[in-house]
Amino acid sequence: MLKEASDRFYGAWWGAFLGDAAAMPTHGFSSEKLLHEDYGEVKEFKAPKPTHPESVLRTIPAPILPPEFDYIGETRRHLWRERDAHPHCGMDAGENTLPVYLALHLAVSMCERGGFDIDDWMERYRLVMTTPGGHRDTFIPSVHRKYFENLATGKDPEANGCPEAHMGDIATFAPLMLFIMRNPEKSQMGLYRALKKFSSGESAYSAAFFIAELLSLVIKGDSIETAIYEKMTPDRHFSLAFPYRRWIKNRDDAQAVNSTGIFATVDEGLPLSLYICLKYGGDFSAAIFANANIGGESTGRGVVIGMLAGAQAGFSRLPQDLIARLKYAGEIQAVGDMLHKLVAGV
């Protein structure tokens, strides 16, 4: 891999973790007023407050599952009974949410197996999710809840997957998106097989491979704008049909936010992610914090925005002070180096 492409590869890798960590405290806010009352204008990594005025946990009953399928754990179960607990209560500034933490484990699996091994990955996944202390997050996205509840009730997870595709579902498979640089066909098949374990329908897979293709163009040297408007045709993916250039002419982001929506589904999250990349992608920090200040499904969008804006900037132009404040910076660096060697075929 050429030096510039390597710099962009590392920019995408680190960008996923930076974008997620920046957005973690504002995840789940639908009210801009309430978000800014709690966090002001977010310009740096912040730890989540213990409480959240719009906590998603108040809408999700805590299931009682056998230990081998228990994805919550006894240390956090009480938080699911508190109506105002922050979905990432107890996490540190610069810490990553569960989907991106899982991406680290996926990358390790790929590096140790020489590529994507679905059986090895699923075994690691189940261990992380059900081992006491295996992860530190409180909020468990719906695809993971559905997966373990299917297992606990004797249902086939693939035949009874989550019907909606969410941005956070895609985030876990960032390493497979980056693998497109080595083998597009294996990246495509890996994404299909991986997402089929959790999601019914084609939306999650279609969005993930579209992002992978877009990412590969940017890593090879195109700007995000060139990749979207010159290298891809509007019929490649539904998210390319939005009037991003017209929205960008506005002073604020209100028209884009109101037109796309801010919540978890790919239908809402992906167009808004592309808009933010196009408007702010020349300034990596501006892009990830513009996203954080919108709220909603901020973390899932943050991964996609971080990867694309990070690839465009290159690792050498990423904010080193933020990199140093990532909780898992050492692990991200070590695993990123292994993944780079795998993708480069070294």
- What is each CA distance from 260 to 36, 187, 255, 266, 269, in whole angstroms? 21, 28, 9, 10, 7
Q: State residue 258's pLDDT score.
A: 93
CATH number of 3-344: 1.10.4080.10
Q: Are 224 and 281 in contact (CB under 8 A)?
A: yes
Instruction: Name the pLDDT band for 264 (thresholds 50, 70, 90).
Output: confident
Helices 329-344, 98-113: axis angle to 10 degrees equals 40
CB proximity list for 214: less than 8 A, separation 6 or greater: 224, 227, 228, 232, 308
Q: State residue 263's pLDDT score.
A: 87
Mean pLDDT to the nearest integer, 109-125: 98
Closest CA to 176 of 97, 108, 100, 106: 106
Q: State residue 75's pLDDT score.
A: 87
DSSP class of residue 44 equals S
Q: Tell me the three state secondary structure of residue 85.
A: strand
Q: State residue 175's pLDDT score.
A: 98
> Cα–Cα distance between 287 and 276 in angstroms, integer?
6
Mean pLDDT to the nearest integer, 10-28: 99
- What is each CA distance from 305 to 148, 279, 297, in whole angstroms? 29, 11, 12
Q: Are 104 and 330 in contact (CB under 8 A)?
A: no
What are 174's two structure tokens?
């960032």
> Cα–Cα distance between 244 and 108 in angstroms, integer?
37
DSSP string across 207-228: HHHHHHHHHHHHHTT--HHHII
Domains of the chain: which residue ranges?
3-344
Mean pLDDT to the nearest integer, 276-305: 97
Instruction: Name the pLDDT band for 31 (thresholds 50, 70, 90).
Output: very high
CB proximity list for 252: less than 8 A, separation 6 or greater: none
Mean pLDDT to the nearest integer, 52-65: 90
**Tens-place pLDDT, residues 159-195:** 999 998 899 999 999 999 999 999 999 999 999 999 9
pTM of the model: 0.97
> Cα–Cα distance between 236 and 121 in angstroms, integer?
30
CA 317 to chain centre: 21
Higher pLDDT, 124 or 267: 124
Q: State residue 83's pLDDT score.
A: 83
- What is each CA distance from 48 to 25, 151, 251, 294, in whole angstroms? 4, 32, 29, 16
